[in-house]
Structures are given as structure tokens and as C-alpha cells.
Amino acid sequence: MGNGMSSNEDYILRLENINKSFSSIKVLIDINLKLRKGSILGLCGENGAGKSTLMNVLGGVYKRDSGKIFLNNKEFNPESPRDAQKAGIAFIHQELNLFSNLTVVQNFMIENLPVKKPIRLIDEQSIRNSTKKALEEFGEDISITSLISDLDMGHRQLVEIAKETSKNARIIIFDEPTTSLSNKEKVTLFNIIRRLSKKGVSIIYISHILDDIFELCEDIVVLRDGRTVGTDKKENLSKHQVIRMMVNTEINDMYPRVTKTLGENVFSAKNIFRKDVLHDIALDLRRGEIVGLFGLMGAGRSELVRALFGVDKFESGTITVNGNDVKKISPITMKKLGVAYITEDRRNEGLLIDKTIKANIVLSILKKLQGRNRLIDKTKEDSKSSGMIKKLTIKTYDQNRQKAGQLSGGNQQKVVIAKWLLTESKILFLDEPTRGVDVGAKYEIYNYINQLASEGSSILFVSSEMEELMGVCDRILIMKKGKITGELKQNEYSQEKILEMAIEW
């Protein structure tokens, strides 16, 4: 901390040398964080820097591997979210934890309903009174009998905050709370947070919107690659300093490069518009080109690719493949036109978790497996599938027995890739293809991507990791709030530039 005078007494919460790994990947490395009583601390970092994991360790969702947590100078070892709740730690998540089909008052005490003796009926009067009291403290006029779904996002958040504080929360953690709020709602939220802090509640405010952090917070902690890289009072920092801390300046040689020549335009999208999600998007892919698409959480990256592949409908815009306008945009037509799409949500949209590896791999080419009698040629099926398993070195003991869900993350991703490689598509949309994949498999995936491009395929590579985009792509498009806000050529790459275009100032 910048203030050397503080003693441990001043801190309601101290995290010391927290480490956490998932399988062999270190996600948190010697993290230190101190929260002063009644203060507002801003926690920033890129996607994947470890913010959420750290908060989940604090909240009892994950168990830390090593390190100590002190709450009011007493060691604190949360075993479950309930322990954290009992200790007065509350979370306000981006996606609110309210039941939108219930009313405000019904939501309020749902975890802990007061009952009346002797037959344990729910004490409705007492709930109503305490709900009213909790809401009145925030001075907002919300009827306790209105349905959550009838409230706007700002008021919903307020209900959630009131609900958490009514449980005597001493520490409240806000995780990207402003993503779905209007400016006016944001002002209200900030006033509430300041009022809470004055009342002695300590706040951790997680955001990638630096403007908000600088407006609201007193202390700032920056995480990068699972480490604490900066801790200081707001007065001692500038936004540019914080961005530089968030960014890793060294790029290692993880990324193989190949030389190739780019061909003609094979895919273009024009004026893609989907209300509140995508605005006037234009995008081109040339033969052999790898185009990166970067955006922070909520920027609309995945939504854009889903629209381009026909998974989600959009209101207007045109898509051209190999010079021809696509009439009915759906996964079926896009597949026919030679477009492949590897989704971000591998478990729920990429794989049939419950089915065998072979069944997954051949899923996209069932029609091509038909013999002359229109029946599926099992020999062909076997050879296609095992050919891919060999080519991508998918580790399985038996493609006919082992289910996709029993594979590791990296091998699961390879199965999805295999499925689409079999279609021999020349245009590939990859949404976070290396998420949840170990380093070795990551390297292999980068290699496939390069190889495909050098063979003349065009690739749209969506990622929230700047580093891999800079390592693999020929150019990078940057999205913010459903718009493409910038483009960088390979010789212009720098993480600062990318973040400056991606962050909401």
C-alpha cells in the first residue's frame, strides 16, 4: 500500500499470497490484496487476469491452494458460499441473482424465510416490513409487490443490493455492475455505493471500465496473468499507467509464423444490425487471411459470430460468401457454403457430451457418409473419424466407447475442430478456440490455424486474449458496445492500442 502508516487494524480484509491452480494451470500466483474498512477498492485486469477466480476464492466457491485470508484480523477459511455469506461478504453479480418471475418482496428473503410458530407458516408481515425498511434506506421508490421482470436493470440491481445489505453485509463485491446500466442508472448506483461506504461497508469494485474505477474508487489493485502487478491509491495513478500495468509487454515465441499471400475477398458482411446488440457491422475476410476479433466482456464478439453463422437471427444486413449473397442465413446454408463455426460454449453447443467421440466427429458430415444405397457407410465413418483422431492427436482409448464428456478440455476442443475440418470448409469462425485448453494444446491449435490459412482457408479468430490474437492474426478488429471501433495491422499491434479502443473511457 502507498500509505505506510496503516496498521493491520485498519483493514477489514487481507489476502496474503493466495495461490490457486486448476489442473496444472496456475490461475492465481501470490496474490496480495488489502481492503481498508469503509473504503472502495477498484480491482482491474484483462479478461482472464484472475479477478473472478480471486473473488470466488474469497467467496468460498473455490478452495485456495495456499495463502491466508484475514477477516477483521482473524483467519478466515470459507468452505462454501454460505460461510462467506455468514461472515458478511456479499456479491453483486453481473447477472443478478434475482428470480424475475417473483415480486420484490418474494425475492427478498428467499434464502432465509422467517416463520411463525407454532405451525411454521411464513411470516409475510415481517418480510414486508423488513423489505420496505431496506429499500427505504436507498431513497428509491420501488413498490415491494412489483415483479422483478417489470423493473428496469438499475432498479433490479438496487433490489439486489438492498437484499444483500439487509443481511448485514460488511463487505460487498460488485462484479462488472454497470455493463447493463444506462448512464442515469449508473449515477444512482455510484451514489448508493458511496453511501454504503460512508456507513462503514467496505466495497470491492471489479470493472474494466477505467473511467468508473477512477471516479468511484479510493484504492486500485491491478491483476495480470494471475499476479498482483499494481497496488496504489488512486491519486498516485493515471489511466495510462493502469493500462500499461494490465498489459503484458513481452510476447514469447509461442506463436509460429508462416509466410503466405492473401487472395481475393471470400466473405463479407455489411450493415449487420441487431437491436441493442450489433450496430452496423462490416467485415471482410480474404483468402488465406486470419482476422482477429477482440472485445472486452459484453462487447458483442460472440453475438456477432453467431449472427454471421445464422445461429442468432438479426434484423438487417447482408452476408456474401464467395461473391454470392446468402439468402436464408442458417447453420445449414452456411455449412453448405463452406463455412465452419467453432462455438465458445463447447459443452453445450459444440459437443454431444453424452455421445461417443466418433459420433461427435462425424456429426457434420453425415450426408457425405451415405453410400450408394443411401445408408451410412460404416467403414467410411470409421476411417474418417480415426483419420481425424490421428491427424489432431486426440487422446482417446476407444473412439466407439469413450464419450466426449470424458475427455480433457483440450481434447474436447480438438474433437470440435475435427468435426469441422471434415467438412473441408474454407471459411472458419473460431470463437475462443483456446479457452480452457492447456498450453500444449493451445500451441497445437495455433499451428492448425496457421496451417489452414497457408492452405488457403480464411479464419475469423475471436478471442478475449490480446496476446494470442497478436501472435496469430494478420489484422485485428476491435469491438466495443456492439460496434467495430477499430482495426490494427500487424505492424501496428500493441496491447495499449487495442485496450484503448476496447475500453469504455
Give the footprint of another protein on this chain (CB under 8 A).
Answer: 309, 311, 331-332, 334-336, 341, 343, 348-355, 359, 363-364, 366-367, 369-370, 374-376, 403, 405-406, 419
Ranges of beta strands (E only) in 432-474 are 458-463
Q: Long-range CB contacts (< 8 A, 24+ apart) of 3-12?
A: 3/233, 6/36, 8/70, 8/73, 9/73, 10/36, 10/37, 11/35, 11/36, 11/37, 11/70, 11/73, 12/36, 12/37, 12/71, 12/72, 12/170, 12/171, 12/202
DSSP assignment of 52-102 equals HHHHHHHTTSS--SEEEEEETTEE----SHHHHHHTTEEEE-SS----TTS
Q: Residue 473: which of 165, 242, 232, 255 has the closest Cα?
A: 255
Minimum CB distance to another protein, residue 330 (Å)? 8
Q: How far is the CB of 420 from another protein (least distance, A)?
A: 9
Cell numbers found for residue 483? 460496434
Question: Residue 374 Cβ, how far from another protein at the closest point, in Å?
Answer: 7
Burial of 157 (0-12, 13-18, 19+ CB in 10 A): buried
Buried-exposed string 100-139: b where 16+ CB fall within 10 A, e elsewhere: eeebbbbbbbeeeeeeeeeeeeebeeebeebbbebbeebe
- Between 33 and 321, CB nearer to another protein: 321
**Smallest distance from the beta carbon of 348 to another protein, in angstroms?**
6
In degrees rounded to 5, what are phi and psi of residue 282? -125, 140
Whichever of 81 and 331 has its CB closer to another protein, that residue is: 331
Instruction: Give whichever of 20 and 306 is closer to another protein, judged by the CB atom.
Output: 306
For residue 310, the minimal CB distance to another protein (Å) is 9
Closest CA to 420 of 497, 501, 320, 331: 331
Residue 38 CB, shortest distance to another protein, in Å, is 46
Identify residue 97 by its one-letter amino acid code.
Answer: N
Q: Which is nearer to another protein, 339 or 477 (CB)?
A: 339
Q: Is the Cβ of residue 349 or residue 496 nearer to another protein in the bound state? A: 349
> Are the C-beta atoms of residues 270 and 437 closer than 8 Å to each other?
no
Q: Which is nearer to another protein, 341 or 446 (CB)?
A: 341
Query: Judged by CB, which is closer to another protein: 51, or 426?
Result: 426
Q: Is the peptide bond before 118 cis (omega within 30 degrees of 0)?
A: yes
Query: Quick one: 121 or 375, whose CB is closer to another protein?
Result: 375
Please report how close the Cβ of residue 363 comes to another protein at its closest, in angstroms: 5
Q: Minimum CB separation from another protein for residue 435, in Å? A: 17
Closer residue to another protein (CB): 138 or 309: 309
- Nearest-5° Cα angle at 221, 218 to 223: 160
Distances from the Cα of 186 to the Cα of 134, 221, 268, angstroms: 20, 22, 37
14 or 358: CB nearest another protein: 358
Minimal distance, residue 332 CB to another protein, in Å: 5
* CA-based nearest residue to 260, from 474, 493, 492, 475: 474
Q: How far is the CB of 22 from another protein (least distance, A)?
A: 18
Under 8 Å CB-to-CB from 269, ≥6 apart: which residues? 281, 282, 283, 284, 308, 317, 318, 319, 320
Nearer to another protein, 33 or 459 (CB): 459
The gap between the terminal CA atoms of the chain, to the nearest Å, is 26
Taking the complex as a whole, the smallest distance from the CB of residue 367 to another protein amounts, in Å, to 6
Task: Name which of 119 and 375 has its Cβ closer to another protein.
Answer: 375
Q: Are 248 and 469 in contact (CB under 8 A)?
A: no
Q: Min. distance of Cβ 286 from another protein in angstroms?
A: 24
Asked if residue 220 lies in contact with residue 39, where contact means CB atoms within 8 angstroms, the answer is no
User: What's the CA gap between 286 and 288, in Å, rounded?
Assistant: 6
Q: Which residue has the cell 488457403?
A: 456
